[in-house]
Structure 1
Amino acid sequence: MAPSTSTAATPSQRARSEVNETWAYLEKNVDNVMNKLQEGLDMKTYMGVYTAVHNFCTSQKATVAPPASSPGNLQSTHRGAHLLGEELYSLLGEYLSQHLKLVLDNSASHVDEALLTYYIREWKRYTDAAKYNNHLFRYLNRHWVKREMDEGKKNVYDVYTLHLVKWRDDFFGKVHEKVMAAVLKLVEKQRNGETIDQLQVKAIVESFVSLGLDEHDSTKSTLDVYRLNFERPFLNATKDYYDQESQRFVADNSVVEYMKKAETRLDEEKERVGLYLHPDIMKKLMDTCNESLITAHTLLLRDEFQVLLDSERTDDLARMYKLLARIKDGLEPLRARFELHVRKAGLAAIDKVAAQGENFEPKVYVDALLQVHGKYQQLVNVAFTGESEFVRSLDNACKEFVNRNQICKSSSTKSPELLAKYTDQLLKKGAKAADESELEELLVQIMVVFKYIDDKDVFQKFYSRMLAKRLVHTNSVSDDAETSMISKLKEACGFEYTNKLQRMFQDVQISKDLNQSYKEHEDLLLGDSNSKRNLDSTYQILGTGFWPLNAPNTPFAPPAEINKAIESFGKFYDNKHNGRKLTWLWQLCKGELKANYVKMGKVPYTFQVSTYQMAMLLLFNDSEKIEYSEMAQLTNLNDETLEPALMILIKARVLNASDPKPGPGVSYTLNEGFKNKKLKVNLNITVKSEQKVEADETHKTIEEDRKLLLQAVIVRIMKGRKKLKHVQLVEEVINQVKSRFPPKIPDIKKNIDALMEKDYIERLDNDELAYIA
């Protein structure tokens, strides 16, 4: 017999044998985790696996063991453990690949929703196992994996991430298109009104998101996988779906019905994100839907805008606004159309007022402006959510028809003049405002129109003249209303605009105190004589520079009763303010006369008259009949003042005249058969001719004030700049003056030339101007 032989195993073979034995043990238990996790793993087995991994990774045996006395023994020990950790990691990866091949093979028999159910079930089983394995292989993560990652080695991950990478590379990459196709079918079913299992889609989305691993840092995640494999096909399918649906719907339905449909679809898609999509898709999904549902049909929607405006369909306009606001520049053409529509509406409203003739009330004109503005302001607020650009379109339209309309053709400053007159009507006693709150609301409305007026200086002139009369005649509805209006004007135009108005109020207050002092002074003079005053008078001292009032345009000889009173007050005032001169504004004075010759029952009538009328009527205390020439001589009034005053007395049947037309040779007597329904009869009436003269004078002062303002602004600019091009100076003047009135370029040039003649400015070369110090 031949002698038997035996071969001893080498260290390398023994190490390999131990690796195989250890891995066989680990693989069996990993397989149980992967396939039977629901059955659980007992603690003894768990600790056995955990210990095996620990021992495997810390074994001092290397594939080639160096001699124990080798100087490099310690390093070799670590190197051996390192190689064993790497081998375990590799074996685990190979196992996962084999496992996923079986999962992939089994998926082939599933389609559509069945595939989704299979995918979700396997994904959950796989990720649950991955978490469990991550605990079992914790020592491998903590030592070998961490060291490899710290050294910057690529394609090394913790055990849980390794599971995800393997799923992505070995399974997901081969089935994601089929999975996504099944998802899109489900979503389309839901869009078509069918009920679906939304949790399936949500689970798929979460899976796709979980697979987004950062190749450079395994501790971080990205949305790259989700965006490429879910988001992109989802958005493409969404676009195709709504492209087709919207085209079909538009062909069979009205634009309004289509807008309702688009609104519903957009709400559904937004809700869909919250139900089962990733939030990151929201903007792109909305952009996609906007493109298909709105942008593709923009012309159709815009063409319907005018129809909706004409028929005042606020809800549908709001719907259109919300849709077109979602796309870039979607609303711009609508704003232009809206502006044109409002302008036409405003002009049409004023045309109706103009059709009434020249004798319309200022209230009718202002109400027409406010009605158009209020109507479309409401539309902007409700349908267009008060959007600033639509507000600007409304403002532009209102500015246009307020300043340039049929009534303004005769005079470009008609709007501010009529607005000032309407304001005067509101603030006079006898105004029909029910209470303070209603009056305040009307003043707010006045400021709405005022905002749009170009010629704010015209309003100021007329308003200040009318305010002066209200204050002088003490017929303001209330001081609170007057101060409220002035404060509104001050807020709109600044302190300078209302400075004189406020000074007028101060004068009135000072005059009240002065009258009180004068009354006390008179009481001292009368003493205990119980003498009665012939004339119960009140005086107002008005500062010349602040009140827009002119001296009387006629000489006048006051009656003796009045002369005595004004001489007494004059002495009192001179003692208080030495050196001041009083100019009596007779045309603004008024009073009351008791007509003892005619009575209502036993009570005599009271005539409310101007001082001129008072002087004329008092003459009849001395004569029963007075001729025109005699009356003119005794009162010293010129014909322009005397004739209109007489006409009022004749028309009111206070006087009888030998000829209805005043003039030389005509005689007058008191009408002793005078009767009136009122005990107090107002004869102090302004005739239209006087109103026209006053308006003409106001316009003249406006022109003069504008000239002075332009020159003051030009000098102020040139004083600050020293030198300036002619064109630049004109531009700066326009910018500084336009808040008061829109200056005309020829007027600016004319005033520049006037200042040159006065040696404020000189012309240099190259069309440059210089200030002369």
Structure 2
Amino acid sequence: MKAHKKEGCNKMRIRAFPMNMDESYVESTWELLRGAIQKIQIQNNSVLSFEELYRNAYTLVLHKHGDKLYNGLREVITEHLQKKDRVYVSQHSVDPVYDLGLILFRDEVIRYDGIRDNLSNTLLNMIMAERHGEAIHMLSVKNACLMLMALGIHARTVYEEDFENPFLQQSAEFFREEGLRYLSENNASAYIQKVQQRINEESIRARHYLDAMTEVKIIKVLEEELISKNLRIIVDMENSGVIHMLTQDRYEDLNAMYLLLKRVPNGLTVMSSAMSNYLRQQGTALVHELTNGISTSPVQFIENLLSLKSRFDQFLSQAFENDSLFRRVISSDFEHFFNLNPSSPEYLSLFIDDKLKKGSKAMSESDLENVMDRAMILFRHLQEKDVFERYYKQHLAKRLLHTRSLADDAEKSVIAKLRALPIDFSASVLTTGFWPTHGSAIRCILPSAANEAFEKFKHFYLNSHSGRILNLQPQLGTADLHAEFYPHSSSSSSNPKQKKHKHILCVSTYQMCILMLFNKSNQYTYKEIVEQTAIPEKDLKRALLSLIFGKSTQQVLCHEEDVFRVNEEFSSRLFRVKIQTLLAKGETVPEQRETRGKIEEERKLEVEAAIVRIMKSRQRLGHTVLLNEIVNQLKHRFMPSPIMIKKRIEGLIERDYLSRDPSDYNIVCVLGLLADYNEQILYDDLLRGYNILERPVSNCSKPLVVLLELVLFQIVDVTWYDYNLKWNPEEYGGISDVRFPAGKIWKPDVLLYNNVDPNFDPYYPSNLVVYSDGKINWIPPAIVRSSCKMDVTWFPFDDQTCCLKFGSWTYNDRKLVLEQGGNGWDMSEYIENGEWLLVGEVRIVCCLFVFLFAVSQFTTADYPVRRTVKLYECCPDEPYSDVKYCLHIRRRTLYYGFNLIIPSLLISLMTLLGFILPVESGEKLTLEITILLSVCVFLTMVSQMTPSTSEAVSLIGVFFSSHMIVVSASVVFNVIVLNLHYRTQDTHRMGVWTRKVLLDWFPRLLLMRRPLKSNSNIHNDIRNDLEPLLNRKETPIQRTNDICHLLEQLIADVRYIREFVKNEEEEQEARNDWKFAAMVVDRICLIAFSFVILVSTIGIFSSSPHITV
């Protein structure tokens, strides 16, 4: 049975399907089906088994992999159509399958007459119904819009033509009618709310079921119809527009209007204009109240302005979102009406003075800081800041001297704020040079006690500070008086304690002078007080009014015959009584005129100082340019008028600070620019009737001789004579030479012919020196670039000859004779160049090459300068002369020697190491290739240093090329050596002559010894031991057949071993012969390449004409 089973035929086994298919089995089955589907599509189904395909598909479905089968089939069909799109469609330029379906649907269905209009009208009616509050099926509208967008095939044309354009037209008409209805039924606030609501609704509608770009367009149409066209009506609407909102402080309504009008181009401009009109009206009303006498307090005027400013700042922050346009408008309006009142600088200073004085309304430190910050805002809008500075200095001085300042920190804080503003402002206290008022001492007769104290202090001060003057300013002083009052009424007799009461009176210096008069007499007339105190009348009246008994509101007039006496009934609950000097609420008209006059005088000085500063820096300026410069420099303090500036310029000219240019009256220049009288007259006489176009010769037929000389230090020396510019030095105060700018007098048009500089005339426009005999010397410094033919044959041991060819460009030799000046080249200022050595005339000096660089000695001979006359093809009858300066220069080779030649020579010598390196190291070929690459790198560097258009190969190029050839040859010979080294008897057999040459002759010639042979004699020993045994005829061993058979087999094995060892020894001997031959070739290459490198290097560099370090 077992044998039968083994010998029987194999039965077919059907693989059972697994109960649970793994993913790999599913994938393999699908790939089988996928390939079958593709073969069926190309009609190649002869090799397919439909029964097997059916069974596989049935199995996939049975194991719940039908989705895999379905999706795979879908991908195959899609891929088939996509392949058609990629191949057929691209080749025949037709529409893809999907686009073709869309086009057919668009043209045959959507564009059908009955469907197209009906679809558009249906969509528009549904949207209009939704605008009127009706519910619609939004998904249908959205799908219709998406369909129209898809039918455009990557464009919006179908959507725009069939829906969007009619939709926008219908919406514009709807919004126009709706806007008129809103305006007739609502005020501005309600209209703004309804428009904003409509904007939100349209935006939501567009985002839900319209195209994204339609939202932008419909909002733009809405803004145009509801906002832009009704802009003025909204802003100027009576009892609800911008003015009404500003009057009623409607911040939310203003913000809503701002956000709405911000959406249209000119919306904020119209709104800010309406706000500006209202603001200017309010500010102008405050100014008129002050000028018309309705409001008499300057402090209250500033308070009102600050309140108005705070109110509009709130509008700016809460309603207008700090918009820059509204900020600029508010700032401009405040500047306008604040400067309408010429007393605004004084009033602002009085306001600050009122807040910083003691005894004013109690304010915390933070409140005071806030008030000062607001005052600084008004100060920014002030135009006449210099007027404010004058008043502020006065008030500051009085506060400090009367000890009425609230706190030093507060004063410093205000000054710091003023300094921080972008204006020129400074404040100094108790410094004579910057004292704010009354530069000269005011006369006043002090009481004897006070005068004696002042004289003692004056004596002490002048002894401590020499060279100073101490003047008394009584209008700024204060005093404390001990006063005793004796009432004589009936009530006083009953109470003796009230007979006398004492007080300390804190008064001003003027009040002290008046009161101390009454120690001598009980009464004085007004005239007597004037005579005995010498106080100025206006200050005396002010001091008397503050001492007179009566209410502050009484209007008291002083006359010369009025009599003044002490009020014995004066009483006060305070022991220390401070008597305030009545301060004027504002300057009177005469005082204002006086102040204005002083300010005008100070402005004159400032204008003159500005003129002097500008002219010192600019030297020469036109009148209009100077005017603009002065205005720009002074506009931060005040705006000078053109008339004032013109008068100040004329004043400076009269005082010989400035002068006008004689040739151009509109040019103003610093007087120091003009020469003295004699030199000015000389210039005028020389240039009178002078024509710079005229060649300076007395006879037009005579040539003008021009001498040209070069100084090898960037200077060209040109000399000629101009007969028009001669004078007698004795007639002009001994002036023997003058200077003219390059464009004032004639000069020859001598140029460098072979110039390669982009600026063809590189000469610096230096002055021309004119001597009294008419000789003109022009020495312009110039850096010239000339073209020279480079001969790189001996590079870097080359000599070059460069010539500079000078000549006149338009004057021929009959009109301008150009000659060599001096002795040719002037080498006195020459500085040696680091790359080139300047040598004498062209000559060749050869020097032998030794392994170090030698220095060739040259003597500097005359540098050739040649004058030639040449006829050009353009004008064969007009000879042109030129002067040619030639330079012979030699390259210094120190840099090239140490950076190129020596490193490359050493690298080339490293080539010899490749022939010494043992073959077994495995690096012979790598070393040689690395050296070859290094030489190539150096050759590349040399090629970059030499011109690409050179006509010859440079010496150093030949050097590197030869070394590259040598190194390349070393690579080849190393390959040969490696080939010889690894040869065996099986692949190569050494010939007789090869053996004689490489193993016999060359080793003897090169003194090479071959290692001794150590061959094994094992085969001889085996032969000697076994041969006798095998040759014996009668032995006991022969009697045994088995033993004899084993012995013969053993002998055969031994013979095989002997032959194998013999062959191995012969093959090893052959390998050793090839290795020794490779060593011989290595030694031959070492000697040959050493000789070639040294001989080629010496031969190449010995051919160079010189070697200069």
* TM-score interval, normalised by the smaller of the two chains: 0.5 to 0.7
CA-to-partner distance for each residue in 1:463-519, whole Å, 9 max, x for gaps? 12111211222211222322232233223333x31x2x1x33xxxxxxxxxxxxxxx
Of 270, 276, 283, which aligns to 2:209?
276
Secondary structure in structure 1 of the residue aligned to 2:452: helix
CA-to-partner distance for each residue in 1:555-601, whole Å, 9 max, x for gaps? 444543673476258537744x4444433333322122232556997
Secondary structure in structure 1 of the residue aligned to 2:443: coil
Letter in 2 for 1:391: R
Partner of 1:482: 411
Partner of 1:610: 508
Contact 1:595-1:607 at 8 Å conserved across structures: yes
Secondary structure in structure 2 of the residue aligned to 1:591: strand
Q: Does 1:242 align with 2:130?
A: no
Partner of 2:572: 676
Partner of 1:509: none
CA-to-partner distance for each residue in 1:128-166, whole Å, 9 max, x for gaps? xx99986242432564433456x5653354x66666555
Of 318, 326, 336, which aligns to 2:263?
326
RMSD across aligned positions (CA): 4.3
Q: Does 1:55 align with 2:39?
A: yes
Q: Distance in 1 between matches of 2:110 and 2:448?
A: 115
Indicate the larger mover: 360-369 or 166-175. 166-175
Q: Which has the higher helix share?
A: 1
Contact 2:481-2:504 at 8 Å conserved across structures: yes
Letter in 1 for 2:640: P
Residue 712 (structure 1) shift: 2.2
Partner of 1:206: 146
Relative distance call for 1:212 and 1:251 in structure 2 (3 A) is same
Relative distance call for 1:633 and 1:232 in structure 2 (3 A) is closer
Partner of 1:401: 337
Partner of 1:538: none
Q: Distance in 1 between matches of 2:360 and 2:98?
A: 86
Residue 426 (structure 1) shift: 1.2
Of 342, 353, 366, which aligns to 1:437?
366
Partner of 1:353: 290
Secondary structure in structure 1 of the residue aligned to 2:434: coil
Alignment of 1:295-310 (within 5 A): 295-298=228-231, 300-301=233-234, 303-304=236-237, 308-310=241-243
Relative distance call for 1:255 and 1:471 in structure 2 (3 A) is closer
Letter in 2 for 1:154: S
Secondary structure in structure 2 of the residue aligned to 1:398: helix
Of 133, 137, 141, which aligns to 1:193?
133
Q: Distance in 2 between matches of 1:44 and 1:667?
A: 132
Residue 305 (structure 1) shift: 6.8
Contact 2:485-2:501 at 8 Å conserved across structures: no
Partner of 1:419: 348
Q: Does 1:388 align with 2:372?
A: no
Q: Does 1:563 align with 2:452?
A: yes
Letter in 1 for 2:503: Y
State the TM-score, normalizing by the size of structure 1.
0.67
Contact 2:189-2:240 at 8 Å conserved across structures: no
CA-to-partner distance for each residue in 1:608-651, whole Å, 9 max, x for gaps? 02234435545666x56586799979976457489548735861
Q: Distance in 2 between matches of 1:43 and 1:431?
A: 98
Q: Distance in 2 between matches of 1:291 and 1:645?
A: 68
Partner of 2:386: 457
Of 669, 694, 707, which aligns to 1:771?
669
Secondary structure in structure 2 of the residue aligned to 1:493: coil
Q: Distance in 2 between matches of 1:687 and 1:249?
A: 60
Residue 437 (structure 1) shift: 1.9
State the TM-score, normalizing by the size of structure 2.
0.48
Residue 415 (structure 1) shift: 1.4
CA-to-partner distance for each residue in 1:673-714, whole Å, 9 max, x for gaps? 431343322235146599658655533321111111222223
Partner of 1:154: 93
Letter in 2 for 1:454: Q
Relative distance call for 1:147 and 1:433 in structure 2 (3 A) is farther
Larger Cα-atom Rg: 2
Contact 2:660-2:667 at 8 Å conserved across structures: yes
Q: Does 1:553 align with 2:448?
A: no
Q: Distance in 2 between matches of 1:133 and 1:715?
A: 96
Contact 1:308-1:316 at 8 Å conserved across structures: no
Q: Distance in 2 between matches of 1:606 and 1:705?
A: 42
Q: Distance in 1 between matches of 2:640 and 2:530?
A: 48
CA-to-partner distance for each residue in 1:206-240, whole Å, 9 max, x for gaps? 33344453xxxxxxx44444444443333233223
Q: Distance in 1 between matches of 2:452 and 2:91?
A: 114
Partner of 2:645: 748
Alignment of 1:723-742 (within 5 A): 723-742=620-639
Residue 189 (structure 1) shift: 1.2
Q: Does 1:715 align with 2:612?
A: yes
Partner of 2:862: none
Identity of aligned residues (%): 29
Q: Distance in 1 between matches of 2:612 and 2:515?
A: 54
Q: Distance in 2 between matches of 1:480 and 1:652?
A: 37
Partner of 1:343: 280
Contact 1:133-1:160 at 8 Å conserved across structures: no
Letter in 1 for 2:433: G
Contact 1:46-1:136 at 8 Å conserved across structures: no
CA-to-partner distance for each residue in 1:156-189, whole Å, 9 max, x for gaps? 54x6666655555554444555434322222111
Residue 735 (structure 1) shift: 3.4
Relative distance call for 1:46 and 1:273 in structure 2 (3 A) is farther
Contact 1:730-1:745 at 8 Å conserved across structures: yes
CA-to-partner distance for each residue in 1:294-335, whole Å, 9 max, x for gaps? 334345435527962443364555554444433333444444
Q: Distance in 1 between matches of 2:273 and 2:304?
A: 23
Relative distance call for 1:306 and 1:597 in structure 2 (3 A) is closer
Q: Which has the higher strand share?
A: 2
How many positions carry a matched residue from both structures?
A: 598
Letter in 2 for 1:685: T
Contact 1:607-1:682 at 8 Å conserved across structures: yes
Q: Does 1:584 align with 2:472?
A: yes
Flag structure 2 segments of 5+ consecutive residues without an equivalent: 1-25, 47-69, 488-496, 551-556, 673-1109
Partner of 2:123: 183
Indicate the larger mover: 236-245 or 423-432. 236-245
Contact 1:710-1:751 at 8 Å conserved across structures: yes
Contact 1:609-1:683 at 8 Å conserved across structures: yes
Q: Distance in 2 between matches of 1:326 and 1:306?
A: 24
Partner of 2:376: 447
Q: Distance in 2 between matches of 1:173 and 1:391?
A: 56
Flag structure 1 segments of 5+ consecutive residues without an equivalent: 1-41, 63-129, 214-220, 505-541, 654-659
Of 600, 620, 623, which aligns to 1:703?
600
Contact 1:726-1:768 at 8 Å conserved across structures: yes
Relative distance call for 1:389 and 1:479 in structure 2 (3 A) is same
Contact 1:723-1:768 at 8 Å conserved across structures: no
CA-to-partner distance for each residue in 1:403-450, whole Å, 9 max, x for gaps? 22xxx3xxxx21111121122111111221421222222222222322
Residue 362 (structure 1) shift: 0.6
Relative distance call for 1:183 and 1:581 in structure 2 (3 A) is same
Q: Distance in 1 between matches of 2:447 and 2:435?
A: 24
Q: Distance in 1 between matches of 2:543 and 2:227?
A: 75
Letter in 1 for 2:333: A
Relative distance call for 1:612 and 1:304 in structure 2 (3 A) is closer
